[in-house]
Amino acid sequence: MSDLIISNIALDGLLAGLASALVFYAFLRRASYSLLDPLLLVGVFVPLSAAFLAVLCATRIVPWDKFLLFTIVLFGYLVGARISTTFFRLERFRQALNDAVASFRRGEILTILVVTVLLTVPLAVLGLTHGASGDARQEFAREFRPLIVLQSGLLLFSVTLLLSRRFNTAQVATFMVTIIALSVPFSGKSILLPIVYFYGLRLFATGRRPSVRVLVVMGSLALIGAALMGLIAYRAGGVLGLYGLIVGRFWASGDVYVLAYEAGGLDYIRGNYHVAFIPYMLHPFTDLVGVRAYDRPLGGMLASAVVGYDVVTGPNPQLPVLLDFFFPHSLIEPFLVALVIGFLVLALRPLALLCSRARGRFVKLGGVVAAVFCPAAGFFDASLVSISLIGVVGVTVFGTAVELLYGRRSHVASPPFPAQTYASRSR
């Protein structure tokens, strides 16, 4: 292959990645509070996947019509997201966040933090005994899903409540180090992301923007976490091993396209995977009451088709592949369905403003927590949105029930955050 051809292929990937990144940010700018917003942090895999798929198409491994499908689905998803956040205002969201956190007393927050740690301890023990770190975490998560979903919901509540002025930096750091250390046995490469999320929320709550230096530090922290788990869980050997693991994870974030199209996995499973679209999407919810739409998700089916034997885990079924399976040889239906999914996923952000008017403190806080964390993986894997939402709603319902059962003593709200505004950041 000549140098000119290689350069053209690289240029195709670069242009596809840059274009999708700009479009992704432009459509979600109104709904995101900074580059440290989980919506944009997890969204970094969208341009990486676009670049990866463009290279596959440029090398004729995957036909270009699949990249057209990717583009149309992404556009539909972003249009739906933009419509649902038309009347969303960051100032009101920041006020809802601060009010929800300030309504909890120090003792109440400590109770939630302790419960989170106590629930993480048995998961850490189970993770050690089952060898759940690294790639094995998906099978572990499937086996102990109720515990993990509840723990993840409590962790998101805890990270948000640590914004309270009732805790100093040392106390926040103590909890973060404790929960991260306990999470090592059943976590993947994103183990330090809660710290990044917390700091981004802290800046937003106080009306500050992350500087370039902060972005570099937070990005480096995420990479350090990936390197740490690479050594502990993935047994990456030496600097070259870590480099290959991290670069491979980012560059091959669109590995589902390899399994689906290059290896022919999607065509193979069309006649062997009997599930309708709506039951598939509702599976995380119906599974709670014993109604299972499938035994293995689409990613697991693709992996099974390629390796030749049954596996439960597999790549995240990104929205274009998911819709290509359920609506083959069509562009209009995937666009419309993606639009609806984008609308529903990002509707969690304005929904938080409605929850802020509720009387229950856990409802107000739960609305904010869901709005901040749940929409992040909507394009990457829509089922992750449902699973994280179940965890947040579970904690919200339980907390509200306890509050109603035992009543609420009078409390004094913690001092509000400095009255800095985002007026200069007009959206």
Summarize pLDDT for 253-263 with one digit per residue, the tens. 778 898 899 88
190 burial type by CB count under 10 A (0-12 exposed, 13-18 middle, 19+ buried): middle
pLDDT score for 229? 61
Long-range contacts (CB closer than 8 Å, 24 or more residues apart) made by 303-309: 303/259, 303/265, 305/259, 305/263, 305/264, 305/265, 305/268, 305/269, 305/272, 306/259, 306/263, 306/265
pLDDT tier for residue 223 given thresholds of 50, 70 and 90:
confident
| 358-385 mean pLDDT | 93
Model confidence at 342: pLDDT above 50: yes
Share of residues in the chain with pLDDT > 90 (%): 55
- Residue 35 pLDDT exceeds 70: yes
Looking at the predicted structure, is the pLDDT value of residue 47 above 90? yes
Question: For 105-127, what is the mean pLDDT?
Answer: 91
Q: In 135-288, which ranges are E strands? A: none
pLDDT at position 424 is 39
Asked if residue 236 has pLDDT above 60, the reply is no
pLDDT at 11: 86
Q: Is the pLDDT of residue 122 over 70?
A: yes
pLDDT band at 293 (very low <50, low <70, confident <90, very high): confident
Q: Is pLDDT above 50 for 421?
A: no
More confident residue, 410 or 118: 118
Confidence class for position 118, pLDDT limits 50, 70, 90:
very high
Q: HSE-up of 409 (CA within 13 Å, CB side)? A: 4
- For 204-216, what is each residue's pLDDT tens digit? 999 999 999 999 9
What pLDDT score does 273 carry? Answer: 86
Mean pLDDT is highest, among 211-225, 274-288, 290-304, for 274-288
Q: What is the average pLDDT score of the chain?
A: 85
The residue that leads in pLDDT, 308 or 350, is 350
What per-residue confidence (pLDDT) applies to 230? 59
Mean pLDDT over residues 181-207, rounded?
A: 85
Tell me the mean pLDDT in the region 151-174: 93
Segments making up each domain of the chain, as ranges? 3-88+253-342
Longest dimension (CA), the chain: 75
- The pLDDT-based confidence of 423 (bands split at 50, 70, 90) is very low
